[in-house]
Protein backbone atom coordinates (compact mmCIF):
# COMPACT_ATOMS: atom_id res chain seq x y z
CA UNK A 1 0.00 0.00 0.00
CA UNK A 2 2.84 2.34 0.93
CA UNK A 3 4.59 1.51 -2.33
CA UNK A 4 1.44 2.40 -4.34
CA UNK A 5 1.07 5.76 -2.59
CA UNK A 6 4.76 6.51 -3.16
CA UNK A 7 4.43 5.73 -6.89
CA UNK A 8 1.36 7.97 -7.24
CA UNK A 9 3.09 10.86 -5.48
CA UNK A 10 6.13 10.49 -7.74
CA UNK A 11 3.97 11.14 -10.85
CA UNK A 12 2.53 14.45 -9.61
CA UNK A 13 5.45 16.61 -10.81
CA UNK A 14 5.12 15.14 -14.30
CA UNK A 15 1.36 15.82 -14.42
CA UNK A 16 1.88 19.34 -13.04
CA UNK A 17 4.55 20.01 -15.65
CA UNK A 18 2.40 18.73 -18.51
CA UNK A 19 -0.46 20.98 -17.38
CA UNK A 20 1.77 24.05 -17.53
CA UNK A 21 3.27 23.27 -20.92
CA UNK A 22 0.78 21.24 -22.92
CA UNK A 23 2.07 19.74 -26.12
CA UNK A 24 0.11 20.16 -29.35
CA UNK A 25 -2.33 17.34 -29.85
CA UNK A 26 -3.51 16.21 -33.25
CA UNK A 27 -7.18 15.37 -33.29
CA UNK A 28 -6.49 12.98 -36.13
CA UNK A 29 -3.87 10.99 -34.26
CA UNK A 30 -5.07 7.67 -32.85
CA UNK A 31 -2.04 7.57 -30.48
CA UNK A 32 -3.33 10.47 -28.44
CA UNK A 33 -7.04 10.01 -27.80
CA UNK A 34 -9.06 12.77 -26.18
CA UNK A 35 -10.17 12.20 -22.60
CA UNK A 36 -12.54 13.94 -20.20
CA UNK A 37 -9.57 15.80 -18.68
CA UNK A 38 -8.94 17.75 -21.91
CA UNK A 39 -11.42 19.83 -23.93
CA UNK A 40 -11.23 22.17 -26.92
CA UNK A 41 -13.84 24.93 -27.35
CA UNK A 42 -15.52 24.35 -30.72
CA UNK A 43 -18.44 26.39 -32.06
CA UNK A 44 -20.09 26.10 -35.48
CA UNK A 45 -22.73 28.56 -36.64
CA UNK A 46 -24.79 27.19 -39.50
CA UNK A 47 -26.43 29.60 -41.95
CA UNK A 48 -30.16 30.07 -41.64
CA UNK A 49 -32.07 27.82 -43.99
CA UNK A 50 -34.57 29.23 -46.46
CA UNK A 51 -36.14 25.83 -47.00
CA UNK A 52 -39.86 25.81 -46.31
CA UNK A 53 -41.18 22.69 -44.67
CA UNK A 54 -44.02 20.99 -46.50
CA UNK A 55 -47.30 20.53 -44.74
CA UNK A 56 -48.83 17.16 -45.49
CA UNK A 57 -52.28 18.68 -45.12
CA UNK A 58 -51.71 21.64 -47.49
CA UNK A 59 -54.56 21.98 -49.99
CA UNK A 60 -54.42 23.64 -53.40
CA UNK A 61 -56.26 26.93 -53.30
CA UNK A 62 -57.44 29.14 -56.11
CA UNK A 63 -57.81 32.92 -56.12
CA UNK A 64 -61.21 34.22 -55.10
CA UNK A 65 -63.72 34.90 -57.86
CA UNK A 66 -63.06 38.17 -59.62
CA UNK A 67 -63.68 39.42 -63.14
CA UNK A 68 -63.68 42.69 -65.02
CA UNK A 69 -66.97 41.82 -66.71
CA UNK A 70 -70.25 41.88 -64.80
CA UNK A 71 -73.99 41.77 -65.42
CA UNK A 72 -75.09 44.84 -67.39
CA UNK A 73 -71.75 45.29 -69.18
CA UNK A 74 -71.29 45.17 -72.93
CA UNK A 75 -68.83 42.52 -74.07
CA UNK A 76 -65.52 43.77 -75.54
CA UNK A 77 -65.30 43.38 -79.30
CA UNK A 78 -62.46 40.84 -79.40
CA UNK A 79 -61.79 38.51 -82.33
CA UNK A 80 -62.17 34.73 -82.04
CA UNK A 81 -61.48 31.97 -84.58
CA UNK A 82 -63.04 28.68 -85.64
CA UNK A 83 -63.29 26.17 -88.48
CA UNK A 84 -66.55 26.28 -90.42
CA UNK A 85 -68.31 23.10 -91.69
CA UNK A 86 -66.24 23.22 -94.91
CA UNK A 87 -63.02 23.17 -92.83
CA UNK A 88 -62.12 26.76 -93.61
CA UNK A 89 -60.49 28.79 -90.85
CA UNK A 90 -62.64 31.81 -90.04
CA UNK A 91 -62.50 34.73 -87.65
CA UNK A 92 -65.49 36.16 -85.84
CA UNK A 93 -65.77 39.30 -83.77
CA UNK A 94 -67.77 39.27 -80.55
CA UNK A 95 -69.96 41.97 -82.07
CA UNK A 96 -70.78 39.73 -85.05
CA UNK A 97 -71.50 36.85 -82.69
CA UNK A 98 -73.87 38.72 -80.40
CA UNK A 99 -75.33 41.72 -82.23
CA UNK A 100 -79.14 41.48 -82.32
CA UNK A 101 -79.02 37.96 -80.89
CA UNK A 102 -79.63 36.05 -77.71
CA UNK A 103 -76.45 34.06 -77.07
CA UNK A 104 -75.31 31.56 -74.47
CA UNK A 105 -71.54 31.90 -74.18
CA UNK A 106 -69.64 29.51 -71.93
CA UNK A 107 -65.93 28.96 -71.37
CA UNK A 108 -63.84 25.97 -70.35
CA UNK A 109 -60.26 25.85 -69.01
CA UNK A 110 -59.13 23.52 -71.79
CA UNK A 111 -60.17 21.28 -74.65
CA UNK A 112 -59.76 17.55 -73.97
CA UNK A 113 -59.59 18.09 -70.19
CA UNK A 114 -61.81 15.70 -68.18
CA UNK A 115 -64.59 17.91 -66.79
CA UNK A 116 -64.81 19.97 -69.98
CA UNK A 117 -65.01 16.89 -72.20
CA UNK A 118 -67.21 14.69 -70.03
CA UNK A 119 -69.65 17.19 -68.50
CA UNK A 120 -69.52 20.85 -69.45
CA UNK A 121 -69.54 20.80 -73.27
CA UNK A 122 -71.67 17.62 -73.63
CA UNK A 123 -74.24 19.15 -71.28
CA UNK A 124 -74.80 22.10 -73.61
CA UNK A 125 -74.95 19.80 -76.64
CA UNK A 126 -77.57 17.69 -74.89
CA UNK A 127 -79.65 20.71 -73.84
CA UNK A 128 -79.18 22.69 -77.06
CA UNK A 129 -82.73 22.08 -78.32
CA UNK A 130 -84.26 23.14 -75.00
CA UNK A 131 -82.15 26.28 -74.99
CA UNK A 132 -83.09 27.19 -78.55
CA UNK A 133 -86.75 26.49 -77.83
CA UNK A 134 -86.46 29.18 -75.14
CA UNK A 135 -85.23 31.75 -77.64
CA UNK A 136 -81.45 31.22 -77.70
CA UNK A 137 -80.02 31.94 -81.16
CA UNK A 138 -76.43 30.76 -80.67
CA UNK A 139 -74.65 28.52 -78.15
CA UNK A 140 -70.89 29.07 -78.21
CA UNK A 141 -67.98 27.63 -76.25
CA UNK A 142 -64.75 29.60 -75.78
CA UNK A 143 -61.41 28.08 -74.78
CA UNK A 144 -57.80 29.25 -74.67
CA UNK A 145 -56.70 26.72 -77.28
CA UNK A 146 -55.82 27.19 -80.93
CA UNK A 147 -58.48 26.64 -83.59
CA UNK A 148 -56.92 23.33 -84.70
CA UNK A 149 -57.23 21.89 -81.21
CA UNK A 150 -60.84 23.07 -80.97
CA UNK A 151 -61.62 21.44 -84.33
CA UNK A 152 -60.07 18.13 -83.22
CA UNK A 153 -61.94 18.29 -79.91
CA UNK A 154 -65.23 18.78 -81.73
CA UNK A 155 -64.52 15.82 -84.01
CA UNK A 156 -63.40 13.65 -81.09
CA UNK A 157 -66.67 14.25 -79.23
CA UNK A 158 -68.78 13.84 -82.37
CA UNK A 159 -70.38 17.27 -82.03
CA UNK A 160 -72.38 18.74 -84.90
CA UNK A 161 -73.59 22.31 -85.18
CA UNK A 162 -75.33 22.40 -81.79
CA UNK A 163 -72.47 24.36 -80.23
CA UNK A 164 -70.02 26.70 -81.96
CA UNK A 165 -66.48 26.07 -80.67
CA UNK A 166 -64.41 29.26 -80.62
CA UNK A 167 -60.67 29.66 -80.13
CA UNK A 168 -59.26 32.44 -77.95
CA UNK A 169 -55.70 31.20 -78.39
CA UNK A 170 -54.01 34.49 -77.43
CA UNK A 171 -56.33 35.20 -74.45
CA UNK A 172 -57.49 38.43 -76.12
CA UNK A 173 -61.13 38.01 -75.13
CA UNK A 174 -60.44 36.19 -71.85
CA UNK A 175 -58.14 38.95 -70.59
CA UNK A 176 -60.49 41.67 -71.80
CA UNK A 177 -63.26 40.35 -69.54
CA UNK A 178 -60.84 39.61 -66.67
CA UNK A 179 -61.45 35.86 -66.58
CA UNK A 180 -57.92 34.52 -67.01
CA UNK A 181 -56.87 31.68 -64.71
CA UNK A 182 -53.15 31.08 -64.05
CA UNK A 183 -52.50 27.34 -63.82
CA UNK A 184 -48.72 27.62 -64.35
CA UNK A 185 -48.01 25.95 -61.01
CA UNK A 186 -49.76 22.76 -62.13
CA UNK A 187 -47.51 19.94 -63.45
CA UNK A 188 -49.58 19.33 -66.62
CA UNK A 189 -48.46 22.46 -68.48
CA UNK A 190 -51.77 24.29 -68.78
CA UNK A 191 -50.28 27.76 -68.30
CA UNK A 192 -52.77 30.63 -68.33
CA UNK A 193 -56.31 29.61 -69.31
CA UNK A 194 -59.87 30.86 -68.91
CA UNK A 195 -62.01 30.49 -65.84
CA UNK A 196 -65.01 28.29 -66.30
CA UNK A 197 -68.20 30.30 -66.73
CA UNK A 198 -71.51 30.51 -68.55
CA UNK A 199 -73.25 33.74 -69.50
CA UNK A 200 -76.43 34.84 -71.20
CA UNK A 201 -75.81 37.71 -73.61
CA UNK A 202 -78.50 39.79 -75.32
CA UNK A 203 -77.39 42.10 -78.12
CA UNK A 204 -73.86 42.13 -76.70
CA UNK A 205 -74.91 42.91 -73.12
CA UNK A 206 -74.38 40.43 -70.27
CA UNK A 207 -77.69 39.51 -68.64
CA UNK A 208 -76.60 36.48 -66.60
CA UNK A 209 -73.07 35.58 -65.47
CA UNK A 210 -72.29 32.33 -63.68
CA UNK A 211 -68.56 32.39 -62.90
CA UNK A 212 -66.79 29.46 -61.28
CA UNK A 213 -63.87 29.47 -58.83
CA UNK A 214 -60.78 27.81 -60.25
CA UNK A 215 -61.66 24.69 -62.18
CA UNK A 216 -64.88 24.01 -60.26
CA UNK A 217 -68.08 23.03 -62.04
CA UNK A 218 -70.97 24.07 -59.82
CA UNK A 219 -72.93 26.95 -61.40
CA UNK A 220 -72.09 27.06 -65.11
CA UNK A 221 -73.93 24.05 -66.54
CA UNK A 222 -76.59 24.10 -69.24
CA UNK A 223 -79.17 23.36 -66.54
CA UNK A 224 -78.10 26.48 -64.63
CA UNK A 225 -78.62 28.64 -67.72
CA UNK A 226 -82.00 27.02 -68.41
CA UNK A 227 -83.11 27.95 -64.89
CA UNK A 228 -82.19 31.58 -65.57
CA UNK A 229 -84.22 31.84 -68.78
For residue 34, is it within any domain? no
pLDDT reported for residue 20: 44
Instruction: Answer yes or no: 116 catalytic.
Output: yes
What is d(CA 141, CA 109) in angstroms, rounded to the nearest whole number?
A: 11
- Paired with 115 in beta bridges are none
Q: 104 lies in which domain range?
A: 76-228
In the predicted structure, residue 21 carries a pLDDT above the cut 70: no
Catalytic residue among 32, 116, 141, 179: 116
For residue 154, is it within any domain? yes
Residue 45: band (very low, low, confident or very high) from pLDDT cuts 50, 70, 90: low
Give how many domains the chain has, as a whole number.
Answer: 1
Does the pTM surpass 0.75? The reply is no
pLDDT reported for residue 1: 47
Residue 169: band (very low, low, confident or very high) from pLDDT cuts 50, 70, 90: very high
In the predicted structure, residue 149 carries a pLDDT above the cut 70: yes
What is d(CA 95, CA 47) in angstroms, rounded to the nearest whole number?
A: 60
The number of C-alpha atoms within 13 Å of 88 and in the hemisphere containing its C-beta is 4
pLDDT reported for residue 66: 57
- Across residues 102-121, what is the average pLDDT? 97
CATH of residue 197:
3.40.30.10
Amino acid sequence: MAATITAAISTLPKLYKSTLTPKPISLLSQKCPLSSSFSIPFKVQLPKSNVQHLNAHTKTTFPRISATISVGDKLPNSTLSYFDPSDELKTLSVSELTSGKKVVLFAVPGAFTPTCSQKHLPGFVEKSKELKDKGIDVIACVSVNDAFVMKSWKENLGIGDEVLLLSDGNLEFTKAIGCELDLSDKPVGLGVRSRRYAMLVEDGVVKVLNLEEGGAFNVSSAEDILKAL
